[in-house]
Structure 1
Amino acid sequence: MGLGYKSAFNWITLWASLLFALILGFSRLSYGLFLPGIQREIGGSYAELGLLGTVNFIGYLAGTLSLPLLISRFQHRKNVINRITCLLLGLAMIGSAFSDHFIQLGLWRFMIGFFSALATVLVLSIATDAVQPPERGMASGLIWLGGSAGILVTGLFAPYIIEPTHLDGWRYAWLSMGIFGILATMGFELVTRKQIFESTLFTELESNSREQEQVSVFRIMFSPNNFLFLLGSYFFFGWGYIIYFTFLVPYLVNKGIPSIYAGLIWSGIGSAGLFNGWIGGRAIDRWPSGYTLALGLAIGAIGVLGVTTNRILLTSLGAVIIGLVSFITPPLMTTALLRRYVPNSIYAVCLSVATATFAAGQIIGPMVGGWVVDQYGLKFGVTSSSLFMVLSALFACLYGRKQRVLESPTLRSKSIDN
């Protein structure tokens, strides 16, 4: 098996986690924190600014759909594709810092979404290939924690970024994040260069092509007896959580909350999220059920309602709850549930379908959220995210009811055949 497997705690996992600070915390979710500063300098309504968030996730969807084509064209160059993708992501972050108008920033946001989608799957795949199979769930949780760390760091610098006196704060922040991403890419490349494994996520897809031809991926993923309800849960989670992360800080700033407190609330989400991967990974390993996923989503929906109280303490508590149980957990658990039931030969394709569904929810969320904010105000707009998280929890429960099909070899065989 090449050079041998490592434990979940290793240098490859560490550098992958640092890259996820760029891929998730910096490139995607920092936009919501920087929104007040961007609006002051570039202008625009919340609907227009929300549209830029939608453009980012259109890029994310495009990247998700193009990854299988790239892998099939360059079957043995996964590390090279990842290296180029992460470098381009860092450069796109730097380029976005020099945007002067909507169209320019929109193009950069599209490119950032495109490259972050590729990097998400590639970094996870390369890093977990190096880990012993029984510890890959824990390794995935540790890697996802990097996204929470990215949120924590950006929140600590919020006073400088969103203060009205610092119009260029968001520019310097994105510039620094891009440079950090390039350095993290170099570190990840150094620790993975000598790591050779015969069996990876994508070579499994290639070497088992005959089995893949016998099974319809879309029939499995969109069958009510298999993963349709899990996809529905993932879709509405993407829709709901992105509304909250896009408009929470503008809501706080609009209420006149000092930027240092807004930054601390944002950091609170990231701090709680540092435990989220560990909690979610352990929970889904012990109780691999759609009901486990639904519980975290339902608690997160309650956390969103903290904004309705008009009390900073309860709003902060709700944000911490979301960071603790409803931020990293749904993607982590969805990935783990797919890994548990989907044949290795088609796992990459199934994961692409799930990720594309998630991206579709994230595309709709900022657009609808921006319209709701313009029509009914920031408070109602942020609160609306709880509705979609509840829908996500309901679909997760429906998936939990259907899991008996997947857990029974006989029923599962019939389901796939039909």
Structure 2
Amino acid sequence: MGNKPAFNWITLWASLLFIVILGFSRLSYGMFLPGIQREIGGSYGQLGILGTVNFIGYLIGTLCLSPLISRFPDRKHVINRMTCFLLGAAMIGSAFSYHSIQLGLWRFVIGWLSAFATVLVLSIAMDAVRPAERGVASGLIWLGGSAGILVTGLFAPFTIDPSRLEGWRYAWAAMGVFGIVAALGFEYVTKKRGVERMSSPTESNPRVQGRVNVYSLLFSPKKLLFLVGSYFFFGWGYIIYFTFLIPYLVSKGIPSLYAGFIWSGIGFAGLFNGWIGGKAIDRWPSGYTLASGLALGTVGVIGVTTDHIIITSIGAITIGLVSFITPPLMTTALLRRHVPHRAYAACLSIATAFFASGQIIGPIVGGVVVERYGLQSGVASGAIFMAISAALACVYGYKQRIPAAEIKNTTETIPVTNSD
């Protein structure tokens, strides 16, 4: 088990990797969408489907990871090493896309690789941290995604301005180079600190892993079903907002610099979100804590319906502050608290698959709404699914009222079945 404080070299480099894994590889697409449309062509609905392709790759990656870890339990670091380097290379490759099919293939590969990297980097970093500080550590890592949003917003004058058609290409290439550097750093500190030797005997023994049925843990209404459901609908709702917010602002005639500032505002607020959310989930490890951030995020999304740029901006910052990084980091921390150590990687992988499924559905649904009712309605539709996510998190918080000792006993006595 880990014995390091929340803030250490491993979590620092993991956070730098999450700049690439979340902020660059996944969410920069929404920021660069106007520039991509001008050069490659297609409607926003059609280009939204390319966002869906990215998350299809993400879903397939999460589904592949669990059996892969079970088959090669001692190769987690090797798989992560290869994944992170390839992710940076794929980001560079995507910068050379000249038609939608080519870009779609790169987005699929990037999604597939980022799914592996998300779970493995978190799992490796969390293994090194003291159990009591894992919420804060998770927040420090996830805030890398906020930093990625902040940086991509600063690129706005070079990526979405009509006078710079190929700006998004240079930005993606630079992001890929940064990803390779971050992968080198993470590899160095984990080897130097001996993390590869920190796995426990139970974690490296597939027979022991087989004693825990992860599906009984995740899909039982008395245990984690409503938490997984909340994660699914959060993925659905937030990705609609992040995919179509910048196109909506551009369509309103907002200058690219100001649109970039709004996007960066989400990322800047998210830097505090990671710290606040990590502290909150360590002190109040409850579904109610998760639901509060989701509810405020729902209100933030609704801000676009006012047709007022200031209210829309305040809503965006609210989302960045309480409901962008908070749901993933809190879900990660809650799973870590309520899932046996030997089953954590598999449970996180499956929960992430449901999150990815929501992100696949989101751009499709959002694109349909955009085509029929316009960009404003498309962005605002994300609030519906954020609200459902908040409601399910409340139900999970209610279910948590079962005494912790009773939960522990039930998880230890789950019947032996296939855990893959």
Whether these two folds match at TM > 0.5 is yes
* Equivalent-residue separation in structure 2 for 1:191 and 1:99 (angstroms): 34
- Evaluate the alpha carbon distance shift between residue 349 and residue 299 of structure 1 in structure 2; reply closer, same or farther with a 3 A threshold: same
User: Deviation string for 1:53-92 (max 9, x for gaps)?
Assistant: 1110011111111112332343322222111111110110
* Equivalent-residue separation in structure 2 for 1:187 and 1:347 (angstroms): 25
Corresponding residue for residue 15 of structure 1: 13
Following superposition, the deviation at residue 204 of structure 1 comes to: 4.0
- Indicate the SS of the match to 2:42: coil
The answer to whether structure 1 residue 145 and structure 2 residue 178 are counterparts is no
The answer to whether structure 1 residue 292 and structure 2 residue 289 are counterparts is yes
Residue identity in the other structure for 2:99: H
* Equivalent-residue separation in structure 2 for 1:165 and 1:414 (angstroms): 59
Corresponding residue for residue 79 of structure 1: 77
* Equivalent-residue separation in structure 2 for 1:120 and 1:12 (angstroms): 15
Following superposition, the deviation at residue 166 of structure 1 comes to: 0.6
User: Deviation string for 1:376-407 (max 9, x for gaps)?
Assistant: 10000000000100000111111111112362
From 307, 310, 319, the equivalent of 2:316 is 319
Following superposition, the deviation at residue 412 of structure 1 comes to: 5.5
Residue identity in the other structure for 1:245: F
* Equivalent-residue separation in structure 1 for 2:6 and 2:411 (angstroms): 36
* Equivalent-residue separation in structure 1 for 2:58 and 2:358 (angstroms): 11
Any residues of structure 2 matched to 1:93-172 within 5 Å, and which?
Answer: 93-172=91-170
- Evaluate the alpha carbon distance shift between residue 141 and residue 389 of structure 1 in structure 2; reply closer, same or farther with a 3 A threshold: same
- Indicate the SS of the match to 2:401: helix
Any residues of structure 2 matched to 1:10-409 within 5 Å, and which?
Answer: 10-197=8-195, 198-200=197-199, 204-207=202-205, 209-210=207-208, 212-405=209-402, 407-409=404-406
User: Deviation string for 1:172-191 (max 9, x for gaps)?
Assistant: 11011001111111122222
Give ranges in structure 2 of 5+ residues lacking alignment: 416-420
CA contact (8 A) 1:405 1:411 kept: no
* Equivalent-residue separation in structure 2 for 1:150 and 1:21 (angstroms): 5
- Evaluate the alpha carbon distance shift between residue 162 and residue 392 of structure 1 in structure 2; reply closer, same or farther with a 3 A threshold: same
Following superposition, the deviation at residue 341 of structure 1 comes to: 1.4
Task: State TM-score, norm by structure 1.
Answer: 0.95
Residue identity in the other structure for 1:321: T
Residue identity in the other structure for 2:316: A
Q: RMSD in angstroms over aligned alpha carbons?
A: 1.9
Following superposition, the deviation at residue 127 of structure 1 comes to: 2.1
User: Deviation string for 1:315-356 (max 9, x for gaps)?
Assistant: 110000000000010011111111111122222221112111
Identity %: 70
Q: Which moved more, 1:398-407 or 1:57-66?
A: 398-407
- Indicate the SS of the match to 1:40: helix
CA contact (8 A) 1:341 1:406 kept: no
Q: Which moved more, 1:335-344 or 1:145-154?
A: 335-344
- Indicate the SS of the match to 1:164: coil
Following superposition, the deviation at residue 281 of structure 1 comes to: 0.9
CA contact (8 A) 2:119 2:345 kept: no
- Evaluate the alpha carbon distance shift between residue 137 and residue 179 of structure 1 in structure 2; reply closer, same or farther with a 3 A threshold: same
Residue identity in the other structure for 1:61: L
User: Deviation string for 1:117-150 (max 9, x for gaps)?
Assistant: 1111111122222223322221111111111001
CA contact (8 A) 2:216 2:414 kept: no
Matched residue count: 414
* Equivalent-residue separation in structure 1 for 2:321 and 2:356 (angstroms): 22
Following superposition, the deviation at residue 217 of structure 1 comes to: 1.8
CA contact (8 A) 2:294 2:386 kept: yes
* Equivalent-residue separation in structure 1 for 2:339 and 2:325 (angstroms): 21
CA contact (8 A) 2:66 2:350 kept: no
* Equivalent-residue separation in structure 2 for 1:368 and 1:120 (angstroms): 25
CA contact (8 A) 2:211 2:414 kept: no
Task: State TM-score, norm by structure 2.
Answer: 0.94
* Equivalent-residue separation in structure 1 for 2:132 and 2:414 (angstroms): 30
Following superposition, the deviation at residue 26 of structure 1 comes to: 0.3
* Equivalent-residue separation in structure 2 for 1:417 and 1:405 (angstroms): 17
- Structure 1 runs of 4+ aligned residues shifted over 6 Å read none
- Evaluate the alpha carbon distance shift between residue 174 and residue 230 of structure 1 in structure 2; reply closer, same or farther with a 3 A threshold: same
- Indicate the SS of the match to 2:96: coil
- Evaluate the alpha carbon distance shift between residue 172 and residue 410 of structure 1 in structure 2; reply closer, same or farther with a 3 A threshold: closer
Residue identity in the other structure for 1:218: Y
- Evaluate the alpha carbon distance shift between residue 204 and residue 320 of structure 1 in structure 2; reply closer, same or farther with a 3 A threshold: farther
* Equivalent-residue separation in structure 2 for 1:170 and 1:414 (angstroms): 48
* Equivalent-residue separation in structure 1 for 2:404 and 2:6 (angstroms): 27
- Evaluate the alpha carbon distance shift between residue 64 and residue 298 of structure 1 in structure 2; reply closer, same or farther with a 3 A threshold: same
- Indicate the SS of the match to 1:405: coil
* Equivalent-residue separation in structure 2 for 1:54 and 1:204 (angstroms): 37
